[in-house]
Amino acid sequence: MVYSGLAILIGLFFYKLRKVGTTYMQEPEGTNKVNITKEMTTGEVTEKYPATREVFAKHFGKSCFDCPAFGTEDVNLACMMHNTDVEMFVNELIEAAQKEVDSKAS
């Protein structure tokens, strides 16, 4: 219980810290290029690209969606908490999201 409370606090801290002074760039109209970074929150990624939920479940387990920190922590922190290589994880997220985007464009 203490561990999950600490994870929530750390996730919220980094989420708020990331938001301060950050300018978000939007993808140009008409482009199908997926843009996922380790600084994005888990909620931002899964909301924009629902197909990425499979990647989260593969690496973190299906119960990760029930975790109180899910949605607020950034991808980098989630990978640190689960001892997962963040670059490999982000690449898998991008691959899953790109397949989803491409299938909708067809």
In this predicted model, what pLDDT tens digit does every residue of 10-66 receive, in sequence order? Answer: 555 555 545 444 444 444 445 688 999 999 999 999 999 999 999 999 999 988 888
Task: Find out if CATH 3.40.50 is the number for domain 2-22+35-105.
Answer: no
pLDDT at 75: 96
Structure tokens at 94: 């991008």
Residue 64, judged by CB atoms within 10 A of its CB (0-12, 13-18, 19+), counts as middle
E strands present in 2-105: none
The mean per-residue pLDDT over the stretch 82-87 comes to 95
Q: What SS3 state is found at 81?
A: helix
Cα 62 to its chain centre, rounded Å, is: 15
> How confident is residue 67, by pLDDT bands cut at 50, 70 and 90?
confident
Q: Report how far residue 98's alpha carbon sits from residue 77's, in angstroms, rounded to the nearest whole number.
A: 23
Higher pLDDT, 7 or 66: 66
The mean per-residue pLDDT over the stretch 82-92 comes to 96
Q: Using N-to-C axis directions, what is the helix angle for 86-105 and 53-60, rounded to 10°? A: 150
Asked whether residue 9 carries a pLDDT value surpassing 60, the answer given is: no
pLDDT at 65: 87
pLDDT at 19: 46
- Any bridge partners for residue 41, and if so which? 74
**Identity (one letter) of the amino acid at 80?**
M
